[in-house]
Amino acid sequence: MIQLYYFPTPNGHKITIFLEETKLDYKIHPIDILKGDQFESEFLKISPNNKIPAIVDTEPKDGEGPLSLFESGAILRYLAQKTERFYPQRIREAWEVEQWLTWQVAHFGPMLGQNHHFNIYAPEQLPYAKERYTRETSRLYSVLNNRLRDRDFVAGTYSIADMAIYPWAISWERQKQDLSMYPYVADYLNLIGSRPTVKKAYEIGQQYRRVDTNQMKPEEWQTLFGNKIAEK
């Protein structure tokens, strides 16, 4: 059984997509990051960087007791290895997945996260920051669009790299992007978004969505962006 520590955000959706795709047995433990659950000591033992997602696999293949993991990229790789699904066997194809997954966790996620921050959440309007991250987001969408010009998925066949990219790219409107500039990305979003398993993952997310994150209360803003240091 996979114990999933989760909130319905892009990084959270990556894992519910994988779990729904593979029908692995899992249980969700909601971590309300607006309330500050991510700073609770029990959660920090699993996720020392105080972020969701995190998992505990109660039955890892080595049989040596529960195994906990944080960081969405590591979790996706682990689950792909455990199930032997959505990760190619052949070495060249496997490294295509590795490159695009790394691209997502190192660039696409963090830059789009800053885009959300300065365009939506920042308490003051900072034109330089808004422009910098909106422009960088556009550059990354161009990279993705070029990659998808002659293939349906970033590594050829549907993989954990696509499961990592989709939940971020689906918010192109919030990121002040014009999707008509990226027609291959538009097709990609339709293709992945029409999968029943992906729809199911988002339906599950709805059950845990507590507030409209566009309208956070001051104390919620403080919890999420107030630079709180996790205490043990």
Residues near ligand GSH (CB under 6 A) are: 9-11, 33, 38, 50-53, 71-73, 105, 109, 224
The one-letter amino acid code at 172 reads: W
Q: How far apart are CA 130 and CA 170, in angstroms?
A: 19
The least CB distance from residue 72 to ligand GSH, in Å, is: 4
Is 127 or 218 the residue whose CB approaches ligand GSH more closely?
218
Is 121 or 183 the residue whose CB approaches ligand GSH more closely?
121
| Cα 58 → chain centroid | 23
Q: Is 212 left (phi over 0), alpha (psi -120 to 50) or beta?
A: beta
Is 32 or 136 the residue whose CB approaches ligand GSH more closely?
32
- Go through the chain and tell me how many residues it has: 232
Is 71 or 152 the residue whose CB approaches ligand GSH more closely?
71
The least CB distance from residue 149 to ligand GSH, in Å, is: 27
The least CB distance from residue 97 to ligand GSH, in Å, is: 16
Question: CA distances (Å), 172 to each of 15, 155, 216, in order?
Answer: 20, 21, 20
Of the chain, the end-to-end C-alpha distance in Å amounts to 27
Contact between 86 and 18 under an 8 Å Cβ cutoff? The reply is yes
The least CB distance from residue 51 to ligand GSH, in Å, is: 3
The least CB distance from residue 7 to ligand GSH, in Å, is: 6
Phi, psi of 5 (to 5 degrees): -100, 120
Is 14 or 130 the residue whose CB approaches ligand GSH more closely?
14
Q: Is residue 174 classed exposed, middle or buried when 0-12, 13-18 and 19+ CB atoms within 10 A define those classes?
A: middle
The least CB distance from residue 49 to ligand GSH, in Å, is: 7
β-pairing verdict for 26-30 and 2-6: parallel
Is 45 or 151 the residue whose CB approaches ligand GSH more closely?
45
The least CB distance from residue 203 to ligand GSH, in Å, is: 19
Is 73 or 205 the residue whose CB approaches ligand GSH more closely?
73
CB neighbourhood size of 132 (10 A): 15
Question: Kind and range of the H or E element at 110?
Answer: helix 109-116
